[in-house]
Chain A
Amino acid sequence: MERKLLWILCIVSIMTFASSLFSSLLIYFNENNHTRVNSSNIINTKTKYKKSLIVYETGKSVSIKDVAGLFEKDYWVSITNDNSDDIIYQIMWKNVTSDWNTTDNVNFVYGVSCDNGVVIDNNVMPNTNEEKVIVGAIVVSANKSVACGIKVRYAGNYLEQSNNSFSADLDVLINS
Protein backbone atom coordinates (compact mmCIF):
# COMPACT_ATOMS: atom_id res chain seq x y z
CA MET A 1 0.00 0.00 0.00
CA GLU A 2 2.80 2.34 1.01
CA ARG A 3 4.64 1.50 -2.18
CA LYS A 4 1.52 2.12 -4.30
CA LEU A 5 1.11 5.56 -2.69
CA LEU A 6 4.74 6.35 -3.44
CA TRP A 7 4.26 5.47 -7.10
CA ILE A 8 1.17 7.68 -7.32
CA LEU A 9 3.15 10.52 -5.71
CA CYS A 10 5.91 9.90 -8.22
CA ILE A 11 3.49 10.06 -11.18
CA VAL A 12 1.88 13.26 -9.83
CA SER A 13 5.34 14.80 -9.40
CA ILE A 14 6.34 13.92 -12.97
CA MET A 15 3.07 15.39 -14.26
CA THR A 16 3.74 18.57 -12.25
CA PHE A 17 7.20 18.75 -13.76
CA ALA A 18 5.88 18.18 -17.27
CA SER A 19 3.20 20.85 -16.99
CA SER A 20 5.63 23.31 -15.42
CA LEU A 21 8.13 22.65 -18.22
CA PHE A 22 5.41 23.11 -20.83
CA SER A 23 4.18 26.42 -19.39
CA SER A 24 7.74 27.64 -18.86
CA LEU A 25 8.57 26.95 -22.50
CA LEU A 26 5.40 28.73 -23.58
CA ILE A 27 6.34 31.81 -21.57
CA TYR A 28 9.95 31.66 -22.75
CA PHE A 29 9.09 31.55 -26.46
CA ASN A 30 6.30 34.08 -26.07
CA GLU A 31 8.70 36.52 -24.40
CA ASN A 32 11.43 35.81 -26.93
CA ASN A 33 9.02 36.63 -29.68
CA HIS A 34 8.12 39.96 -28.07
CA THR A 35 11.79 40.81 -27.60
CA ARG A 36 12.59 40.05 -31.22
CA VAL A 37 9.69 42.18 -32.46
CA ASN A 38 10.72 45.04 -30.17
CA SER A 39 14.39 45.01 -30.98
CA SER A 40 14.76 44.26 -34.66
CA ASN A 41 11.50 45.54 -36.04
CA ILE A 42 9.83 48.86 -35.43
CA ILE A 43 6.33 48.16 -34.26
CA ASN A 44 4.87 51.55 -35.01
CA THR A 45 6.04 54.61 -36.89
CA LYS A 46 4.04 57.72 -36.34
CA THR A 47 4.44 61.03 -38.11
CA LYS A 48 3.38 64.04 -36.20
CA TYR A 49 2.54 67.04 -38.36
CA LYS A 50 3.22 70.39 -36.78
CA LYS A 51 1.35 73.02 -38.73
CA SER A 52 2.19 76.68 -38.54
CA LEU A 53 0.71 79.65 -40.30
CA ILE A 54 3.08 82.59 -40.66
CA VAL A 55 1.48 85.79 -41.88
CA TYR A 56 3.61 88.77 -42.86
CA GLU A 57 0.87 91.39 -42.66
CA THR A 58 3.11 94.07 -44.16
CA GLY A 59 5.03 91.79 -46.47
CA LYS A 60 8.04 89.59 -46.01
CA SER A 61 10.43 92.00 -47.72
CA VAL A 62 11.59 95.10 -45.93
CA SER A 63 12.98 97.92 -48.05
CA ILE A 64 13.91 101.25 -46.51
CA LYS A 65 15.42 104.04 -48.60
CA ASP A 66 16.28 107.68 -48.18
CA VAL A 67 15.58 107.91 -44.47
CA ALA A 68 15.06 111.40 -43.23
CA GLY A 69 14.02 113.18 -40.03
CA LEU A 70 12.53 111.13 -37.18
CA PHE A 71 11.88 108.10 -39.30
CA GLU A 72 9.89 105.13 -38.06
CA LYS A 73 8.02 102.31 -39.73
CA ASP A 74 6.11 99.27 -38.44
CA TYR A 75 6.13 95.73 -39.78
CA TRP A 76 3.68 93.11 -38.58
CA VAL A 77 4.03 89.37 -38.33
CA SER A 78 1.49 86.96 -36.90
CA ILE A 79 2.26 83.36 -36.01
CA THR A 80 -0.44 80.73 -35.58
CA ASN A 81 0.44 77.42 -33.96
CA ASP A 82 -2.11 74.87 -35.23
CA ASN A 83 -0.93 72.04 -32.98
CA SER A 84 -1.65 70.44 -29.67
CA ASP A 85 1.86 71.31 -28.39
CA ASP A 86 3.55 74.62 -27.73
CA ILE A 87 6.08 75.63 -30.39
CA ILE A 88 8.98 78.05 -30.10
CA TYR A 89 9.58 80.31 -33.09
CA GLN A 90 12.23 82.85 -33.90
CA ILE A 91 12.17 85.89 -36.14
CA MET A 92 15.23 86.77 -38.18
CA TRP A 93 16.59 89.30 -40.60
CA LYS A 94 17.72 87.45 -43.71
CA ASN A 95 19.25 88.46 -47.05
CA VAL A 96 20.40 91.75 -45.56
CA THR A 97 21.75 94.41 -47.90
CA SER A 98 22.69 97.69 -46.29
CA ASP A 99 24.85 100.63 -47.15
CA TRP A 100 24.29 102.50 -43.91
CA ASN A 101 27.57 103.90 -42.62
CA THR A 102 28.71 102.82 -39.16
CA THR A 103 28.15 106.23 -37.58
CA ASP A 104 24.53 106.57 -38.65
CA ASN A 105 23.75 102.88 -38.27
CA VAL A 106 24.21 103.09 -34.46
CA ASN A 107 20.97 105.07 -34.38
CA PHE A 108 19.19 102.92 -36.96
CA VAL A 109 17.38 100.58 -34.58
CA TYR A 110 14.44 98.25 -34.24
CA GLY A 111 12.20 97.23 -31.39
CA VAL A 112 9.79 94.32 -31.08
CA SER A 113 6.55 94.05 -29.19
CA CYS A 114 4.51 90.86 -29.24
CA ASP A 115 1.09 90.38 -27.70
CA ASN A 116 2.39 87.45 -25.63
CA GLY A 117 4.62 89.85 -23.69
CA VAL A 118 7.89 89.64 -25.62
CA VAL A 119 9.44 93.11 -25.76
CA ILE A 120 12.80 94.08 -27.24
CA ASP A 121 14.02 97.66 -27.37
CA ASN A 122 16.52 99.52 -29.51
CA ASN A 123 18.55 96.80 -31.16
CA VAL A 124 20.85 98.08 -33.86
CA MET A 125 19.86 97.11 -37.38
CA PRO A 126 22.27 94.79 -39.19
CA ASN A 127 24.43 96.57 -41.74
CA THR A 128 26.44 93.69 -43.07
CA ASN A 129 25.29 90.77 -45.13
CA GLU A 130 24.61 88.78 -42.03
CA GLU A 131 21.60 86.97 -40.72
CA LYS A 132 20.50 88.46 -37.46
CA VAL A 133 18.09 87.09 -34.90
CA ILE A 134 15.36 89.62 -34.15
CA VAL A 135 13.62 87.54 -31.48
CA GLY A 136 15.24 84.30 -30.38
CA ALA A 137 12.28 82.60 -28.75
CA ILE A 138 8.60 83.33 -29.12
CA VAL A 139 6.61 80.63 -27.38
CA VAL A 140 3.24 80.15 -29.05
CA SER A 141 0.85 77.98 -27.09
CA ALA A 142 -1.11 75.18 -28.73
CA ASN A 143 -3.80 76.43 -31.10
CA LYS A 144 -2.97 80.06 -30.35
CA SER A 145 -1.68 82.99 -32.35
CA VAL A 146 0.86 85.62 -31.45
CA ALA A 147 1.20 88.92 -33.30
CA CYS A 148 4.46 90.84 -33.24
CA GLY A 149 5.11 94.37 -34.33
CA ILE A 150 8.64 95.28 -35.43
CA LYS A 151 9.24 99.02 -35.33
CA VAL A 152 12.25 100.22 -37.30
CA ARG A 153 13.27 103.81 -36.52
CA TYR A 154 16.02 106.32 -36.53
CA ALA A 155 16.82 107.00 -32.87
CA GLY A 156 19.16 109.95 -33.40
CA ASN A 157 18.06 113.55 -32.93
CA TYR A 158 17.38 114.31 -36.53
CA LEU A 159 18.67 112.89 -39.76
CA GLU A 160 19.04 114.98 -42.83
CA GLN A 161 18.01 113.19 -45.96
CA SER A 162 20.32 110.17 -46.20
CA ASN A 163 21.01 108.21 -49.29
CA ASN A 164 21.37 105.07 -47.24
CA SER A 165 19.28 102.08 -48.13
CA PHE A 166 18.43 98.91 -46.32
CA SER A 167 16.70 95.79 -47.55
CA ALA A 168 16.14 92.40 -45.96
CA ASP A 169 13.58 89.66 -45.56
CA LEU A 170 11.75 88.97 -42.35
CA ASP A 171 11.83 85.26 -41.68
CA VAL A 172 9.95 83.32 -39.04
CA LEU A 173 11.49 79.94 -38.26
CA ILE A 174 10.49 77.10 -36.03
CA ASN A 175 13.01 76.92 -33.21
CA SER A 176 11.77 73.68 -31.64
Chain B
Amino acid sequence: MEDKNGLTKQLQILSVVNKNESKFKRALFVVVVLITLFSTLLSLSFSYKAYNNIQDIMVGKEKQTIENVSYETLTVSFENGSVLNCVNGQCNSVVVKISNEGEDTLMYSIGLIDIVGESGYYNYSVNSSEFNKSGVAPSNSEVIGAGLKIEAGQDVTYTIKLDNAVENPNDYRAKVKISIDEDNNSLLG
Protein backbone atom coordinates (compact mmCIF):
# COMPACT_ATOMS: atom_id res chain seq x y z
CA MET B 1 0.00 0.00 0.00
CA GLU B 2 2.88 2.28 0.91
CA ASP B 3 4.66 1.34 -2.37
CA LYS B 4 1.54 2.21 -4.30
CA ASN B 5 1.32 5.61 -2.59
CA GLY B 6 5.04 6.23 -3.26
CA LEU B 7 4.61 5.40 -6.95
CA THR B 8 1.61 7.69 -7.23
CA LYS B 9 3.65 10.54 -5.68
CA GLN B 10 6.53 9.87 -8.03
CA LEU B 11 4.16 9.90 -11.01
CA GLN B 12 2.66 13.18 -9.77
CA ILE B 13 6.16 14.75 -9.47
CA LEU B 14 7.04 13.49 -12.98
CA SER B 15 3.81 14.93 -14.33
CA VAL B 16 4.62 18.37 -12.78
CA VAL B 17 8.18 18.25 -14.18
CA ASN B 18 6.81 17.33 -17.65
CA LYS B 19 4.26 20.12 -17.45
CA ASN B 20 6.97 22.66 -16.44
CA GLU B 21 9.27 21.50 -19.22
CA SER B 22 6.50 21.73 -21.77
CA LYS B 23 5.69 25.30 -20.58
CA PHE B 24 9.39 26.22 -20.86
CA LYS B 25 9.60 24.79 -24.37
CA ARG B 26 6.46 26.67 -25.42
CA ALA B 27 7.81 29.93 -23.97
CA LEU B 28 11.19 29.39 -25.62
CA PHE B 29 9.48 28.70 -28.94
CA VAL B 30 7.42 31.86 -28.65
CA VAL B 31 10.55 33.89 -27.82
CA VAL B 32 12.43 32.40 -30.77
CA VAL B 33 9.54 33.12 -33.14
CA LEU B 34 9.25 36.69 -31.82
CA ILE B 35 12.99 37.38 -32.16
CA THR B 36 13.01 36.00 -35.71
CA LEU B 37 9.94 38.03 -36.62
CA PHE B 38 11.44 41.22 -35.13
CA SER B 39 14.73 40.64 -36.92
CA THR B 40 12.94 40.15 -40.21
CA LEU B 41 10.88 43.31 -39.72
CA LEU B 42 13.98 45.31 -38.77
CA SER B 43 15.86 44.06 -41.82
CA LEU B 44 12.92 44.79 -44.10
CA SER B 45 12.46 48.27 -42.70
CA PHE B 46 16.09 49.31 -43.14
CA SER B 47 16.36 47.56 -46.47
CA TYR B 48 13.46 49.76 -47.64
CA LYS B 49 15.31 52.85 -46.37
CA ALA B 50 18.49 51.73 -48.11
CA TYR B 51 16.51 51.16 -51.30
CA ASN B 52 15.10 54.69 -51.12
CA ASN B 53 18.57 56.05 -50.51
CA ILE B 54 19.89 54.27 -53.58
CA GLN B 55 16.94 55.62 -55.59
CA ASP B 56 17.82 59.16 -54.42
CA ILE B 57 21.39 58.68 -55.54
CA MET B 58 20.20 57.30 -58.87
CA VAL B 59 18.01 60.35 -59.57
CA GLY B 60 20.69 62.77 -58.42
CA LYS B 61 19.20 63.99 -55.12
CA GLU B 62 22.44 62.98 -53.51
CA LYS B 63 24.46 65.55 -55.45
CA GLN B 64 23.23 68.92 -54.32
CA THR B 65 25.00 71.29 -56.64
CA ILE B 66 24.64 74.99 -56.11
CA GLU B 67 25.10 76.72 -59.41
CA ASN B 68 26.30 80.32 -59.53
CA VAL B 69 25.91 82.18 -62.77
CA SER B 70 28.59 84.65 -63.74
CA TYR B 71 27.75 86.88 -66.68
CA GLU B 72 30.82 87.79 -68.70
CA THR B 73 30.20 90.57 -71.20
CA LEU B 74 32.72 91.93 -73.63
CA THR B 75 31.50 95.19 -75.09
CA VAL B 76 32.95 96.38 -78.37
CA SER B 77 32.21 99.86 -79.60
CA PHE B 78 33.43 101.00 -83.01
CA GLU B 79 33.66 104.77 -83.02
CA ASN B 80 33.40 105.26 -86.79
CA GLY B 81 32.32 101.87 -88.06
CA SER B 82 34.22 98.62 -88.35
CA VAL B 83 35.24 98.72 -92.01
CA LEU B 84 38.72 99.56 -93.21
CA ASN B 85 38.51 101.00 -96.68
CA CYS B 86 41.27 102.08 -99.01
CA VAL B 87 40.34 103.85 -102.24
CA ASN B 88 43.04 105.24 -104.53
CA GLY B 89 45.58 104.75 -101.79
CA GLN B 90 43.55 106.73 -99.25
CA CYS B 91 42.59 104.69 -96.18
CA ASN B 92 40.43 105.32 -93.16
CA SER B 93 41.22 103.90 -89.74
CA VAL B 94 39.07 102.00 -87.27
CA VAL B 95 38.99 102.99 -83.64
CA VAL B 96 37.48 100.41 -81.34
CA LYS B 97 36.94 100.51 -77.61
CA ILE B 98 36.79 97.12 -75.88
CA SER B 99 35.36 96.91 -72.36
CA ASN B 100 35.14 93.95 -70.06
CA GLU B 101 31.87 94.43 -68.19
CA GLY B 102 32.00 91.01 -66.55
CA GLU B 103 33.48 89.73 -63.33
CA ASP B 104 36.35 87.74 -64.76
CA THR B 105 39.30 88.16 -67.10
CA LEU B 106 38.44 87.52 -70.73
CA MET B 107 40.56 86.59 -73.71
CA TYR B 108 39.73 87.91 -77.13
CA SER B 109 41.05 88.17 -80.63
CA ILE B 110 41.11 90.85 -83.31
CA GLY B 111 40.77 89.78 -86.90
CA LEU B 112 40.20 91.02 -90.40
CA ILE B 113 37.32 89.41 -92.30
CA ASP B 114 35.19 89.95 -95.42
CA ILE B 115 38.28 91.06 -97.34
CA VAL B 116 37.93 92.47 -100.83
CA GLY B 117 41.34 93.08 -102.40
CA GLU B 118 44.72 91.51 -102.72
CA SER B 119 47.57 91.13 -100.29
CA GLY B 120 50.77 93.10 -100.77
CA TYR B 121 49.42 96.57 -101.43
CA TYR B 122 48.94 97.60 -97.82
CA ASN B 123 50.37 97.04 -94.38
CA TYR B 124 48.12 96.94 -91.36
CA SER B 125 48.95 98.14 -87.88
CA VAL B 126 47.14 97.56 -84.57
CA ASN B 127 47.98 99.90 -81.73
CA SER B 128 46.82 100.27 -78.18
CA SER B 129 48.47 101.18 -74.91
CA GLU B 130 49.25 97.51 -74.35
CA PHE B 131 49.50 95.91 -77.77
CA ASN B 132 51.22 96.89 -80.98
CA LYS B 133 51.52 94.83 -84.10
CA SER B 134 51.92 95.38 -87.82
CA GLY B 135 52.05 93.18 -90.87
CA VAL B 136 51.04 92.75 -94.48
CA ALA B 137 47.32 93.19 -95.05
CA PRO B 138 46.00 89.71 -95.91
CA SER B 139 43.85 88.61 -98.83
CA ASN B 140 41.87 86.16 -96.68
CA SER B 141 40.44 86.38 -93.16
CA GLU B 142 43.25 86.52 -90.64
CA VAL B 143 43.69 86.98 -86.91
CA ILE B 144 45.89 90.01 -86.37
CA GLY B 145 45.81 89.93 -82.57
CA ALA B 146 45.25 86.65 -80.74
CA GLY B 147 44.94 85.72 -77.08
CA LEU B 148 44.58 89.28 -75.88
CA LYS B 149 43.67 89.59 -72.24
CA ILE B 150 41.40 92.10 -70.54
CA GLU B 151 40.74 92.25 -66.82
CA ALA B 152 37.26 92.66 -65.36
CA GLY B 153 36.10 96.25 -65.36
CA GLN B 154 38.86 97.46 -67.67
CA ASP B 155 38.72 98.90 -71.16
CA VAL B 156 41.22 99.34 -73.94
CA THR B 157 41.08 101.34 -77.17
CA TYR B 158 42.70 100.10 -80.38
CA THR B 159 43.44 102.00 -83.55
CA ILE B 160 43.65 99.76 -86.59
CA LYS B 161 44.84 101.32 -89.82
CA LEU B 162 46.25 100.50 -93.22
CA ASP B 163 49.22 102.15 -94.89
CA ASN B 164 50.32 101.91 -98.50
CA ALA B 165 53.04 99.35 -99.07
CA VAL B 166 53.56 100.24 -102.74
CA GLU B 167 52.90 103.18 -105.01
CA ASN B 168 49.47 103.31 -106.66
CA PRO B 169 47.98 100.40 -104.73
CA ASN B 170 44.73 98.71 -105.69
CA ASP B 171 41.67 99.34 -103.58
CA TYR B 172 41.24 97.24 -100.46
CA ARG B 173 38.47 96.64 -97.98
CA ALA B 174 38.28 94.61 -94.75
CA LYS B 175 36.03 94.41 -91.75
CA VAL B 176 37.46 94.35 -88.22
CA LYS B 177 36.02 91.64 -86.06
CA ILE B 178 36.47 91.07 -82.32
CA SER B 179 35.75 87.62 -80.87
CA ILE B 180 35.83 86.17 -77.39
CA ASP B 181 38.31 83.28 -77.21
CA GLU B 182 36.81 80.07 -75.92
CA ASP B 183 39.18 77.44 -74.55
CA ASN B 184 42.06 78.82 -76.62
CA ASN B 185 40.04 78.48 -79.83
CA SER B 186 39.31 81.74 -81.51
CA LEU B 187 35.70 82.07 -82.64
CA LEU B 188 36.76 84.23 -85.48
CA GLY B 189 35.03 83.06 -88.61
Binding site for B on A (CB under 8 A): 2-3, 6, 9-10, 13-14, 16-17, 20-21, 23-24, 27-28, 30-31, 34, 38, 42-61, 80, 82, 172, 174
Contacts and interface: CB of A to CB of B under 8 A. Distances in A.
Given A47-B70, A52-B73, A56-B77, 14 more contacts: A9-B32, A20-B39, A21-B42, A43-B64, A45-B67, A48-B67, A48-B69, A49-B72, A50-B72, A52-B71, A52-B72, A53-B73, A54-B73, A80-B180
A52 B70 contact: no
Interface string B34-63: 011011101101110110010000000011
A99 B75 CA distance: 29
A50 B73 CA distance: 8
B74 to A, nearest CB: 5
B77 A44 contact: no
A17 B72 CA distance: 60
Contacts of B93: none
B66 A42 contact: yes
Chain A interface, DSSP helix/strand/loop, else mixed: mixed
B178 A53 contact: yes
Interface stretch (B78-86, B127-135, B159-167): B78-86
Contacts of A59: 77-80
A13 B35 contact: yes
A16 B36 contact: yes
Contact of A82 (B69, B75, B187): B187
B42 A46 contact: no
B68 interface: yes
A58 B104 contact: no
Contacts of A55: 76-78, 82, 178
A57 B66 CA distance: 38
Contacts of B75: 54, 56, 60, 172
A163 B39 CA distance: 95
Pairs A-B, 9 closest by C-beta atoms: A20-B39, A60-B77, A24-B46, A17-B39, A44-B65, A56-B77, A20-B43, A55-B76, A27-B46
B74 A52 contact: yes
Contacts of A17: 35-36, 38-39
Interface size bucket, B side?
35 or more
Contacts of A53: 73-74, 76, 178-180
Given A13-B35, A20-B40, A31 B74 contact: no
B151 interface: no
Contacts of B36: 13, 16-17
A176 B172 CA distance: 41
A8 B71 CA distance: 71
Contact of A31 (B49, B68, B178, B179): B49
A48 B68 contact: yes
Contacts of A10: 28, 31-32
Contact of A58 (B49, B50, B73, B78): B78
Nearest to B76: A55
A81 B9 CA distance: 105
B155 to A, nearest CB: 11
Interface in B151-189: 178-180, 182, 187
B19 interface: no
20 contacts: A13-B39, A14-B35, A17-B38, A20-B39, A42-B66, A44-B63, A47-B68, A47-B70, A48-B68, A48-B69, A51-B72, A52-B73, A52-B74, A55-B82, A56-B75, A56-B77, A59-B77, A82-B182, A82-B187, A174-B71
